[in-house]
């Protein structure tokens, strides 16, 4: 075998090895993408569930409060109205709380749940929401008791 043919053979072998390595790297990167994207979406869904569950529990507590007090707490009273009787003696006789545990007033990010009555998004009822991971009110990551997209 002559030297030029040997060099061409070596170059061909090296190119074949590089092509195989590129294919292997591409497959590994694809698999990593599939593996990494799934848990990220799962983590977002898990956080959303951890923020939504107490909202449902607080809605039940607010409904019980309304049954006793004939109205939901005013915005100024906030969710703390679920924990202690009102200062008005007549209203205090109707109050049969506490309606919830104080620990439920903070979301899983240790931020207080927000409350407004009457609600802007639920004008016949109230708005109850978490500020979400960014801690800012009125952003897309807020999670509340209103239909999605509101």
pLDDT tens digit sequence for 3-61: 777 777 777 777 777 777 778 877 776 666 655 555 555 667 777 777 777 898 999 99
Contact 112, 105 (CB under 8 A): yes
Which pLDDT score is estimated for 36? 55
Residue boundaries of the structural domains of the chain: 7-34, 51-150
Q: What is the pTM of this model?
A: 0.68
Which residue from 36, 16, 26, 51 is spatially nearest to 134, judged by alpha carbons? 51
CATH architecture for segment(s) 51-150:
2-Layer Sandwich (3.30)
């Amino acid at each position: 075998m002559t030297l030029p043919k040997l060099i061409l053979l070596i170059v061909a072998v090296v190119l074949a090895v590089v092509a195989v390595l590129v294919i292997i790297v591409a497959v590994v990167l694809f698999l990593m993408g599939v593996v990494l994207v799934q848990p990220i979406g799962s983590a977002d869904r898990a956080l959303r569930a951890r923020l939504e569950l107490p909202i449902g529990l607080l809605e039940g507590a607010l409904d019980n409060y309304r049954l006793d007090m004939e109205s939901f707490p005013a915005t100024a009273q906030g969710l703390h109205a679920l924990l202690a009787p009102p200062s008005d003696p007549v209203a205090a006789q109707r109050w049969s709380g506490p309606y919830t545990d104080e620990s439920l007033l903070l979301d899983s990010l240790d931020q207080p749940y927000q409350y407004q009555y009457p609600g802007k998004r639920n004008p016949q009822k109230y708005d109850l929401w978490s500020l979400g991971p960014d801690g800012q009110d009125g952003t897309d990551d807020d999670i509340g008791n209103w239909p999605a997209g509101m």
